[in-house]
Structure 1
């Protein structure tokens, strides 16, 4: 039995995707352990080159993602549901917010809530200006970061639940690649996403273990933070994550996320009450307004005219933008999984606005408190610790009451955030690597991912090589950002077609159908008309109908009518004109219009009657420029009825809004 056959029989994995990914991870691990300096130097050179030459691209592309989501949600596309029109959300709104928030940034907020504002406060970018320090923090953690997650999550949810395609990244390219997504192109997309996701989770696991062990030391539970303790932390966290993953996303992640959101909100409320409360409440309003007023400028700022700040720009903003892109497959797929049944407008609001406002509130409470304590109480002691961000949160809590209790709560929150991220990460890894996205992954696969990530994290943590994975993750972010741009285009194309499909109305011709001559009409439907057919329709159906109606209007009612026959034009046409002296004439015309036939219809074996790449339709037109419609199935009597229907509309408009418009046009023509 071959290896590929074994994988297919014993797992849900796609053999090509899983083998290529594991080979990439193990090769990088071997290079890091055997030649660490050479590997790190090579990757650093690549990262530096990307950041130097493509910083403008990162800034522009993330802003494009944000504008794209806003445009989609505010327009008529925003009412489209992520699923069928009758679909209801699987989770309540609060549970949904808790899960997407916990999976998206929970760990980062705990790690950087105090550290980043203090870092900016002491750097040249702010020069001791607290408001500027907070602004740049909000910019990195606000609406732009969630826009990156939102684009990929929206595409995944839309194609997965609306198109009924597998919930996979390759499905997002269906409008561009069609069935090719099931071949080599799809495998390449999945491999890229799986590698980026695996590297990102392992890196976070390693750095998270270092932070948690430092926290244990800071609160006095252990004498020192060493490698053995970090191994224990990784094993415990990943074991709990595997148990949660085996229980299912609807149970494990939901319970952990809601519990952690309550604990995090409680800790934030404690800091708000025990810290400079009035100052923080005032700062939140000020921060929110300052952030919104500077949002456009920061969205496109590349510091071209501020060369002294370009190193800060690359080390912070570009690093963040690349990091969000590298984490987008992981977070996006998880958000998509829990968003079935929501409208696009609700989805975009939930993913962009709610977490961003909460992030601003979080950083205001922790960041502004830290800056205030550093300048009023600590005499710069907190700012001096920015080189060790993993210890800053616990050092900050020491300046507040009940620090022993709050530090334990913070440690629990960090642990739960890591468990939640690892848990949802296992689900995402199984999904991306699966050959059939609807297939339930065997439980042993969750254990396999847990063991693999733990082993790699421990090996790299012990050799000091975690930075290699972090650098590799950031390098893969550039091609993935380009891929996301194509994904956004594919999504836009699909949404436009979706709106056309569901808003398509029955043709006006069918209004007159009574069931008579149904065989004749079926034959017309199943045989695409050519130009000669339309000429015959105009000559033997439309023209006699117009002449009969014109004669009645003239002889019985004294109306001035005219029939124009234009068979020698590129688009043969006939039209009935009812002339008026003071307003625009009534015109009902029918012309032959050429249309392309979709290639897939011509090639479809089950549609043998369609063999030409173009067809011709008799389309109406009117004097006021309104869009016409197809009348190919109408009989002479039905055409007369349709003309009278349009003439009745024309007469009704003479008495209200149409009078002014039509009279104005007629006066201009007279001049």
Structure 2
């Protein structure tokens, strides 16, 4: 079977087999034991709500803080690619594509439904501002921080480390070459299952809303499960045809057309709704959201037990949904971000889509609440139990509702198709054994059939709630995996900064071609403790004595040499004593360093055979970091001491005078 999979597909046999086994087992259990499966899923959902709600909240806050820290700190200047690489797209084009990534079936489904649902629930108690705040919290920077973590890791390891653009690559600092074995397969299985159910849940929302829209505009008499099946099959067929044909340009045109239509629909609602109220609300909403962001980021409602049901049913489900969508959106963002700096990337991913989501929900959500309280007499709020119908019911209160409803239906259908098409690509990528392989066309058909079958079976067994439950369950291990990914990325960024900021050793300043063979011999032998004692005794100490003699006899300086060669940490130092300021000290001591085990085990580095080495490191009276002087000759050491003494003298008449004199007075006391 493994050989057949390798011959006929691009799949990794282990990853695709484990994933299909899980999904097909779920389908079989749902069909053969519907009641037992439903009870099991409900029990699992309650267990996640009860035991891991705090974990989701803290994890998402960690993701957001992580991105802020890496962007504002030293890592922010690191490029997603080589240091010389320029961005593939202009800044405005890149922002436009991020804007496109922020759109989707979810915004169309929840644009009206979520603010109204919060407004009508006890969580807001009829306060429109509170209802909007909870909506922005679910769709704002926290959601995009999850996408940003994966996208940043994928782009960094793909373009900086030159690894395949795959999730397993993000764990290279922790697993090294093991990412190509069982650990990497396990990562791909978790990502594949989470992504699969995240996409299926979104398709379920789209099917429910499309069938309700067809009923609302009068094209069908009744919206039911049978119609949802037809919608899923029809849309998925179009998505599969698009994926199989490989007409990327056509999909790109559809996506851009859809963005224009969505923008026009938003402007239409803004113009025909309570325009001045919406413009003022947008500014108010932004301020209210940012002023409450920290409090909301860590709130688990442990002190508000009456609201824990709302918290679990909205916030925790959203956090699970974003985790399951993260590989999907993250891969898209990573592919378009080559050449950006980390700081530029984080700003674009967090700020631009989040601001657009605030604008979208202000226009649709605030309009719906305003109409419900001023014109509909609470009729819209009464429909929150059927959220798929709310967008079209809301449009009925605006002019030209028949036209706007058709446009909304077209937008949902196009988002549905492009999301499914992109989803097929991402699923093929995660399941592939080699990311450079082109997937055979039959794989697109397989994913289309699988997603359609899972969506239909789960919708039939319990509606959108079952889809959300599966997303919640499968996203939990992936959220844990993402924490490890963040740690792996931080470790890589830290190593990156140290690597590219490392300077050539000061010893090399004095190098010429005259003694290159001697230098090479020193480099090819790891110094041990005896070597350092010999260096201190026969090179450093004579250099200090020669310099001391000249300073004392010709210039009258008070110079002292301290030789401590028999100590556990042998050292020598030259001290020039001063009466009113800190003494000048130039010391050299033996310092032990661990040698990385992979260097000792490397066959192509035969000169490295011990797990520790010793280096002669300088030290100074002002506590500055020292450096390795093992390659210096006696004359070069004298020159280095004079260089440090010249620095000392130049500081006496500048900032150093105050610091040195202050310290000397404290010592005198």
**Alpha-carbon distance in structure 2 between the residues aligned to 1:473 and 1:226:** 23
**Alpha-carbon distance in structure 1 between the residues aligned to 2:255 and 2:459:** 27
Cα shift at 1:228 = 4.8
CA contact (8 A) 2:99 2:356 kept: no
CA contact (8 A) 1:210 1:230 kept: yes
Cα shift at 1:445 = 2.2
**Alpha-carbon distance in structure 2 between the residues aligned to 1:658 and 1:88:** 42
SS in 2 for 1:524: helix
**Alpha-carbon distance in structure 2 between the residues aligned to 1:282 and 1:194:** 43
Are 2:81 and 1:83 aligned?
A: yes
Are 2:116 and 1:136 aligned?
A: no
- Out of 223, 229, 234, the position equivalent to 1:236 is 234
**Alpha-carbon distance in structure 2 between the residues aligned to 1:42 and 1:250:** 42
**Alpha-carbon distance in structure 1 between the residues aligned to 2:594 and 2:250:** 52
Q: Deviations over 1:225-255 (max 9, x none)?
A: 3445434422332233234435669745543
CA contact (8 A) 1:99 1:253 kept: no
The equivalent residue for 1:326 is 324
The equivalent residue for 1:486 is 484
CA contact (8 A) 1:157 1:340 kept: yes
The equivalent residue for 2:434 is 436
The equivalent residue for 2:449 is 451
Q: Name whichever of 427-436 and 98-107 sits farther off.
A: 98-107
Cα shift at 1:63 = 0.6
The equivalent residue for 2:665 is 667
The CA RMSD over aligned residues, in Å, is 1.7
Q: CA 1:131–1:235 in structure 2 vs 1: closer, same or farther (change >3 Å)?
A: same
Q: Deviations over 1:300-334 (max 9, x none)?
A: 11111111111111111111112212222222223
The equivalent residue for 1:389 is 387
Cα shift at 1:640 = 0.9
**Alpha-carbon distance in structure 2 between the residues aligned to 1:143 and 1:455:** 33
Cα shift at 1:94 = 4.2
Are 2:18 and 1:33 aligned?
A: no
Q: CA 1:208–1:169 in structure 2 vs 1: closer, same or farther (change >3 Å)?
A: same
Q: Name whichever of 94-103 and 632-641 sits farther off.
A: 94-103
The equivalent residue for 2:257 is 259
- TM-score w.r.t. length of structure 2: 0.97
- Out of 171, 185, 188, the position equivalent to 1:187 is 185
Cα shift at 1:105 = 4.9
Q: CA 1:250–1:635 in structure 2 vs 1: closer, same or farther (change >3 Å)?
A: farther
Cα shift at 1:459 = 4.2
SS in 1 for 2:590: strand
- Out of 603, 608, 611, the position equivalent to 1:610 is 608
How many pairs align?
669
**Alpha-carbon distance in structure 1 between the residues aligned to 2:17 and 2:646:** 70
The equivalent residue for 2:164 is 166
CA contact (8 A) 2:194 2:324 kept: yes
**Alpha-carbon distance in structure 2 between the residues aligned to 1:239 and 1:658:** 76
- Out of 353, 357, 363, the position equivalent to 2:361 is 363
Q: CA 1:217–1:98 in structure 2 vs 1: closer, same or farther (change >3 Å)?
A: farther
CA contact (8 A) 2:106 2:202 kept: no
Q: CA 1:300–1:249 in structure 2 vs 1: closer, same or farther (change >3 Å)?
A: farther
Q: CA 1:358–1:604 in structure 2 vs 1: closer, same or farther (change >3 Å)?
A: same
The equivalent residue for 1:537 is 535
- Out of 296, 299, 310, the position equivalent to 1:298 is 296
- Which segments of 5 or more consecutive residues in structure 2 lack a partner in the other structure? none
Are 2:503 and 1:505 aligned?
A: yes
SS in 1 for 2:29: helix
Are 2:641 and 1:643 aligned?
A: yes
- Out of 311, 314, 317, the position equivalent to 2:312 is 314
**Alpha-carbon distance in structure 1 between the residues aligned to 2:642 and 2:256:** 64
- Out of 579, 598, 601, the position equivalent to 2:599 is 601
Q: Name whichever of 228-237 and 118-127 sits farther off.
A: 228-237
The equivalent residue for 1:23 is 21
Cα shift at 1:639 = 0.8
**Alpha-carbon distance in structure 2 between the residues aligned to 1:637 and 1:247:** 73
Cα shift at 1:100 = 4.1
Cα shift at 1:401 = 1.2
- TM-score w.r.t. length of structure 1: 0.96
- Which segments of 5 or more consecutive residues in structure 1 lack a partner in the other structure? none
CA contact (8 A) 1:114 1:367 kept: yes
Report 1:39-188 matches (<5 A): 39-188=37-186
Cα shift at 1:438 = 2.3
SS in 1 for 2:619: strand
Report 1:549-588 matches (<5 A): 549-588=547-586
CA contact (8 A) 1:99 1:258 kept: no
**Alpha-carbon distance in structure 1 between the residues aligned to 2:656 and 2:439:** 64
Q: Deviations over 1:174-213 (max 9, x none)?
A: 1111111111111111111111111222232233112112
Are 2:242 and 1:215 aligned?
A: no
Which structure 1 residue ranges, 4+ long, deviate > 6 Å from structure 2?
none
CA contact (8 A) 2:215 2:223 kept: yes
The equivalent residue for 2:421 is 423
SS in 1 for 2:324: helix
CA contact (8 A) 1:549 1:640 kept: yes
Q: CA 1:470–1:315 in structure 2 vs 1: closer, same or farther (change >3 Å)?
A: closer
CA contact (8 A) 2:30 2:457 kept: no
SS in 2 for 1:125: coil
- Out of 629, 632, 639, the position equivalent to 1:631 is 629
